[in-house]
Amino acid sequence: RRLRINFSAQQQSTLEAMFAQNRYPDADTRDRLAQSLGVAESRVIVWFQNKRARSRRQ
């Protein structure tokens, strides 16, 4: 099992801004975003999945 990572406030705001533009980023966009944030692309994928699920619940 992977260790849970907490995104910094800066990383969180970047992810939120990207989510506001596009809820379903393509692979290239996810890769560039992951590189700019310094995290694995899989973490970005999971963040978007969780964010979409949270937004549907509200």
Length reported for the chain: 58
Residue 26 predicted with pLDDT over 90: yes
Assessment of whether the complete model's pTM goes beyond 0.95: no
Any alpha helices (H) in 1-58, and if so which ranges? 9-21, 27-37, 41-57
pLDDT exceeds cutoff 80 at 29:
yes
